[in-house]
Chains A and B, each alone.
Chain A
Amino acid sequence: MKKLFLTLSLILIFSVFFTGIALAQDTAPSDDEVNAIAKQLYCPVCENTPLDVCPTEACRQWRELIRDMLAEGKTEQEIKDYFVANYGARVLSEPPRTGFNWFVYIVPPVLILIGAYILFNSFRAWTKPRVAESGAGRGKEAKPSAGDDEYIKRLEEELKKRK
């Protein structure tokens, strides 16, 4: 019993001691710590200006708010959550990956893949006839315009030379 009491009190003393140190560190978060979080946030008033570089008075106050919250021991995530809860998802530099916002992330890669697919398909379509007609001569090839003839002839001659 006595031992337990001793242990508990030791834990208590140590925890107070360490919290004290932690608090002492947190009382004055540096500008860099504030900016590290502010960088990831956008104020709802100044469009498209990250909070860490926004010169307006409102943004200065917000930075002070971050500083105070850091001093209270809030984590980065808690601070960001607080701003989202109070001012909406637009304070984040990227929309959260939920619901409608998924469109933001999904559409570009899908479109690019479709583009790549079309391109590769066209390549296949373009290069296939050549294999088929390799014996049949130039019959199937679309007629080059008059200006092309000379150029293509020379090009093909040269290609032959290389082979």
Chain B
Amino acid sequence: MLPEFGFGVLLVGFIVTVYSGFAAWYGVRNKSASLVESARRAQLLTFPLLTIAAGVLIYLLVNNHFEVSFVYEVTSRSMPTYLKVTAWWGGQAGSLLFWAWLLAMFTSAVTVRKWERDLEFLPWVIVVSSITLAFFVGMVVFYENPFTRFWDIGGQVVPSLFAPSANATVFTPDDGQGLNPLLRHPGMVIHPPMLYLGFVSFVIPYAFAMAALITGRSDDRWIRITRRWTLWAWLFLSLGLVLGGRWAYDVLGWGGYWGWDPVEIAAFMPWLTGTAFLHSVMIQEKRGLLKHWNMILIILTYALVVFGTFLTRSGVLSSVHAFANSPIGPLFMAFVSLTLIASVALLIKRWPELKSETEMKSMLSREALFLFNNLLFMGILIVCFWGVISPLASELFTGTKITVGPPYYERATGPLFAGLLFLMAIAPLSAWGHSTVQTLGRALWKSALAASILTVGLVFTYTKNIYALIGFFLISFVFFATVHEFWRGANARMKAQDENFFAALGRLMGRNRRRYGGYIIHISMALMAIGILGIEIFQIETQGTVASGESLELADYRVEYRELASWDDFGSAVNYTRSVVDIYENGIFIGQLYPRIDYYYDSQQNMTIPGQHATLKDDLYILLVDWQPVSNQGATFKIYVNPLVNWMWIGSLTFLFGLMFAAWPDKDPADEPVRKRVGAGGRQASAAD
């Protein structure tokens, strides 16, 4: 009964969504306020409907309704309840429903708030988001239904939504297959929702951009309305990426957090265009430039969000042919193409109206440097996109499969990332409108000098690797330039307002939250870059088989194998093999680690959990690779020393803080003219803002 109910609600949700989009479109075309209002109410109804459908699915998941094929695929009796709930997004059908549910929530949030204020845009926002929502809900209803059940027709079991024939009975398996053990990790429990939150919330700025194009408003109103949305979308997407990295580091057992896997890149690509967008909208706000480019960026971001979902959901990555066989692959492809063509057509139609209000004056002005920043982000995007696409193209056109792995990406993106760091150091100190080598030089020479001294110091104390030194120079340049900028601002305010330094700094930052939040993010990027440099350039590893009491040595560390135990946990149907190793640094005992392997009986999969000893200097990362089950005499360990990698996580936390600082809601920014803010926080900021 329940699955039918869930499906019924979903179906109603689909119809209501389609109605909402259509009514909004028809209403606004024919100036029918009542029809538009009806569209809005229909839109508001989609969220509770999808919530009920999701609630039904969660009920089925939690209560072991294995007759439902989705429940059978992602849960098992031995899984704890919280994992059964999160299994909602652990499989295809559920995660598409999750996507749709989030979108319904966001669109409702937009239409509930400020309906009167944005009356001009909102009908079109409803049209655009309803099209997207209808696509996702439609896919769940017609192709990837989470409420499909198993039916027994004379001994043969078939999955179907309704009884396939009169004599069919519902078939209930004894137990489910269980969630992929790799997904049974706290990181994996929150990583997909974060990523999806980021993905889905980018739909909102896109919808507003389209509304601006359709209504022909060429000013930056759509940008101001969606500024917070964009920041939050970016926050969630970034968090999703970082959590995914942490999960990989803790669970996948290959000693790193980022493997340039196409699935990772699928989430990274919208982040790249989103980051470029966040920067270039500032040029439009402050200078009225680049209106076309901002449209292109948000259209690209939206397309990449859907494309990313397509890449991870259609199976196209494992084989082009898997894509052709999956029902949703071609649909996704068609949807991405159609929305892209429609958006670009709209943009071309409005092209002449989006002319720049002023002109670019100097190659070193802030807006010009932002454009270089955009070029570099686009460059990284091209490298990533091409790296994901070429194996597919090769398989399609030549029939041979190829792998495009880390060496390709590292070589191609390395210089681009270095360029971004350089811009991060100099752009915040360049002026809007006009900068010269002299003004920039005056603002930057101290930071450049400090960074050079630090780099020379590193040559003597840490490394002579040229790439590492270039990296460390750029990182410290960013760091010093940004800190100097904080100091200068606070100092100017301190003198002007007669406050003490910390009060001045606090007020300065409080009045310019977006700007100083942005600087904190820049610092966090520099911190993360330390971690990335460390693991990319200085990671070392060794592997060996040792008997109890023997040890392996790597760098300053000695790892001594003590003992190993293996046991079954019948409650959760897992076999644990846990080793105990003593670790010594320069001969001094510093602790014990317990690298282990968990074997999940229900899904017959291994999970390798490393033992980690984390310091600011490096991370000792020990994997249990193998052991002799009979004698317990020897075990094989793989040991990594990952220098500086923990700066990555420190940077992530700083990043989170910076973003919260910039994005935390205060007064609604859309109510406040943006350009009035220029110059707040002391006179010196006016030209340098």
Q: Which residues of A contact B383 (CB under 8 A)?
A: 108
Interchain CA distance A109-B412 in the complex, whole Å: 8
Q: Is the CB of A123 within 8 A of B357?
A: no
Q: Which residue of B lies closest to A36 (CB)?
A: B541
Q: Is the CB of A130 within 8 A of B359?
A: yes
Nearest Cβ on chain A to B638's Cβ, whole angstroms: 8
Among A44, A94, A103, contact of B405 (Cβ-Cβ < 8 Å): A94
Q: Which residue of B lies closest to A35 (CB)?
A: B543
Nearest Cβ on chain B to A22's Cβ, whole angstroms: 22
Among B262, B361, B673, contact of A127 (Cβ-Cβ < 8 Å): B361
Among A126, A142, A147, A152, contact of B355 (Cβ-Cβ < 8 Å): A142
Q: Is the CB of B687 within 8 A of A123?
A: no
Among B288, B358, B406, B545, contact of A31 (Cβ-Cβ < 8 Å): B545
Among A93, A104, A142, contact of B358 (Cβ-Cβ < 8 Å): A142
Q: Is the CB of A144 within 8 A of B357?
A: yes
Given A31-B636, A48-B262, A108-B386, do A155 and B402 touch, yes or no (CB 8 Å)?
no
Q: Is the CB of B386 within 8 A of A104?
A: yes
Given A144-B288, A144-B358, do A116 and B254 touch, yes or no (CB 8 Å)?
no
Given A119-B371, A142-B356, do A103 and B403 touch, yes or no (CB 8 Å)?
no
Q: Which residue of B lies closest to A53 (CB)?
A: B254
User: What are the interface flags for A126-159 relative to B under an 8 Å C-beta threshold, 1 for contact and 0 otherwise?
Assistant: 1101100000000001111101101110111011
Interchain CA distance A79-B355 in the complex, whole Å: 60
Among A104, A123, A144, contact of B408 (Cβ-Cβ < 8 Å): A104
Q: Which residues of B contact A150 (CB under 8 A)?
A: 675
Q: Is the CB of A158 within 8 A of B687?
A: yes
Q: Which residues of A contact B255 (CB under 8 A)?
A: 53
Nearest Cβ on chain B to A55's Cβ, whole angstroms: 5
Nearest Cβ on chain B to A85's Cβ, whole angstroms: 13
Q: Is the CB of A53 within 8 A of B253?
A: yes
| CB neighbors of B among A60-111 (8 A) | 60, 88-95, 99-101, 103-105, 107-109, 111
Among B317, B393, B543, contact of A103 (Cβ-Cβ < 8 Å): B393
Interchain CA distance A104-B407 in the complex, whole Å: 13
Among B356, B543, B606, B686, contact of A158 (Cβ-Cβ < 8 Å): B686
| CB neighbors of A among B642-683 (8 A) | 673-675, 678-679
Among A30, A108, A158, contact of B412 (Cβ-Cβ < 8 Å): A108
Interchain CA distance A115-B377 in the complex, whole Å: 11
Q: Which residues of A contact B150 (CB under 8 A)?
A: none
Question: Is A112 in the interface zone, CB < 8 Å from B?
Answer: yes
Interchain CA distance A44-B393 in the complex, whole Å: 18
Q: Is the CB of B357 within 8 A of A101?
A: no
Q: Is the CB of B675 within 8 A of A148?
A: yes
Given A31-B545, A101-B394, do A95 and B403 touch, yes or no (CB 8 Å)?
yes
User: What are the interface flags for B444-480 relative to A under an 8 Å C-beta threshold, 1 for contact and 0 otherwise?
Assistant: 0000000000000000000000000000000000000
Question: Is B542 in the interface zone, CB < 8 Å from A?
Answer: yes
User: What are the interface flags for B536-573 relative to A under an 8 Å C-beta threshold, 1 for contact and 0 otherwise?
Assistant: 00000111110000000000000000000000000000
Nearest Cβ on chain A to B580's Cβ, whole angstroms: 21
Question: Is B397 in the interface zone, CB < 8 Å from A?
Answer: yes
Question: Is B400 in the interface zone, CB < 8 Å from A?
Answer: yes
Question: Is B271 in the interface zone, CB < 8 Å from A?
Answer: no
Q: Is the CB of B382 within 8 A of A108?
A: yes
Q: Which residue of B lies closest to A116 (CB)?
A: B375
Q: Which residues of A contact B318 (CB under 8 A)?
A: 47
Q: Which residue of A lies closest to B405 (CB)?
A: A93
Among B358, B393, B439, B545, contact of A141 (Cβ-Cβ < 8 Å): B358
Question: Is B362 in the interface zone, CB < 8 Å from A?
Answer: yes
Question: Is B185 in the interface zone, CB < 8 Å from A?
Answer: no
Question: Is B433 in the interface zone, CB < 8 Å from A?
Answer: yes
Interchain CA distance A127-B412 in the complex, whole Å: 31
Interchain CA distance A111-B379 in the complex, whole Å: 8
Q: Which residues of A contact B398 (CB under 8 A)?
A: 99-100
| Contacts between the two chains (Cβ within 8 Å), count | 161
Q: Is the CB of A143 within 8 A of B679?
A: no
Q: Which residue of B lies closest to A34 (CB)?
A: B543
Interchain CA distance A148-B220 in the complex, whole Å: 11
Among B397, B405, B544, B608, contact of A100 (Cβ-Cβ < 8 Å): B397
Among A55, A91, A127, contact of B363 (Cβ-Cβ < 8 Å): A127
Given A94-B407, A145-B288, A154-B679, do A103 and B390 touch, yes or no (CB 8 Å)?
yes
Q: Is the CB of A101 within 8 A of B358?
A: no
Q: Which residue of B lies closest to A128 (CB)?
A: B359
Given A50-B254, A94-B408, A155-B687, do A101 and B288 touch, yes or no (CB 8 Å)?
no
Most buried by A among B286, B379, B398, B673: B379
Question: Is B434 in the interface zone, CB < 8 Å from A?
Answer: yes
Q: Is the CB of A159 within 8 A of B434?
A: yes
| CB neighbors of A among B384-434 (8 A) | 386-387, 390-391, 393-394, 397-398, 400-408, 412, 432-434
Q: Which residues of B contact A145 (CB under 8 A)?
A: 219, 288, 357
Q: Which residue of B lies closest to A42 (CB)?
A: B403
Given A142-B355, A150-B675, do A30 and B544 touch, yes or no (CB 8 Å)?
yes
Q: Which residue of B lies closest to A125 (CB)?
A: B360
Question: Is B378 in the interface zone, CB < 8 Å from A?
Answer: yes
Among A32, A88, A123, A151, contact of B678 (Cβ-Cβ < 8 Å): A151
Given A47-B317, A103-B390, A115-B378, do A123 and B403 touch, yes or no (CB 8 Å)?
no
Interchain CA distance A104-B357 in the complex, whole Å: 40
Interchain CA distance A64-B219 in the complex, whole Å: 65
Nearest Cβ on chain B to A73's Cβ, whole angstroms: 22
Question: Is B4 in the interface zone, CB < 8 Å from A?
Answer: no
Given A47-B318, A100-B397, A129-B359, do A112 and B675 touch, yes or no (CB 8 Å)?
no
Interchain CA distance A108-B253 in the complex, whole Å: 31
Nearest Cβ on chain B to A83's Cβ, whole angstroms: 12
Q: Is the CB of A107 within 8 A of B386?
A: yes
Q: Which residues of B contact A53 (CB under 8 A)?
A: 253-255, 638
Q: Is the CB of A90 within 8 A of B358?
A: no
Interchain CA distance A48-B362 in the complex, whole Å: 45
Q: Which residue of A lies closest to B259 (CB)?
A: A48
Interchain CA distance A144-B289 in the complex, whole Å: 10
Q: Is the CB of B379 within 8 A of A112?
A: yes
User: What are the interface flags for B344-380 relative to A under an 8 Å C-beta threshold, 1 for contact and 0 otherwise?
Assistant: 0000000000011111111100001001100100110
Q: Which residues of B contact A107 (CB under 8 A)?
A: 382, 386, 390
Given A48-B405, A95-B402, do A31 and B543 touch, yes or no (CB 8 Å)?
yes
Q: Which residues of B contact A130 (CB under 8 A)?
A: 359, 361
Among B386, B403, B679, contact of A48 (Cβ-Cβ < 8 Å): B403
Interchain CA distance A130-B365 in the complex, whole Å: 15
Q: Which residues of A contact B405 (CB under 8 A)?
A: 42, 48, 50, 93-94
Q: Is the CB of B404 within 8 A of A91?
A: no
Among B254, B407, B626, contact of A93 (Cβ-Cβ < 8 Å): B407
Q: Which residues of B contact A100 (CB under 8 A)?
A: 394, 397-398
What are 16 A-B pairs with beta-carbon distances under 8 A? A31-B543, A42-B403, A42-B405, A47-B318, A48-B261, A95-B402, A95-B404, A101-B402, A105-B408, A127-B362, A130-B361, A143-B357, A147-B219, A148-B288, A151-B286, A155-B686
- Using a CB–CB distance below 8 Å, which chain A residues touch chain B? 30-32, 35, 42, 44, 47-50, 53, 55, 60, 88-95, 99-101, 103-105, 107-109, 111-112, 115-116, 119, 122-123, 126-127, 129-130, 141-145, 147-148, 150-152, 154-156, 158-159, 162
Instruction: Give 11 A-B pairs besides A93-B405, A130-B361 with Cβ atoms closer than 8 angstroms.
Output: A35-B543, A44-B401, A50-B259, A90-B400, A91-B403, A104-B386, A104-B387, A126-B361, A141-B359, A145-B357, A151-B675
The 10 closest A-B pairs by CB, nearest first: A93-B405, A126-B360, A31-B543, A53-B254, A95-B402, A90-B401, A112-B379, A151-B675, A104-B390, A48-B261
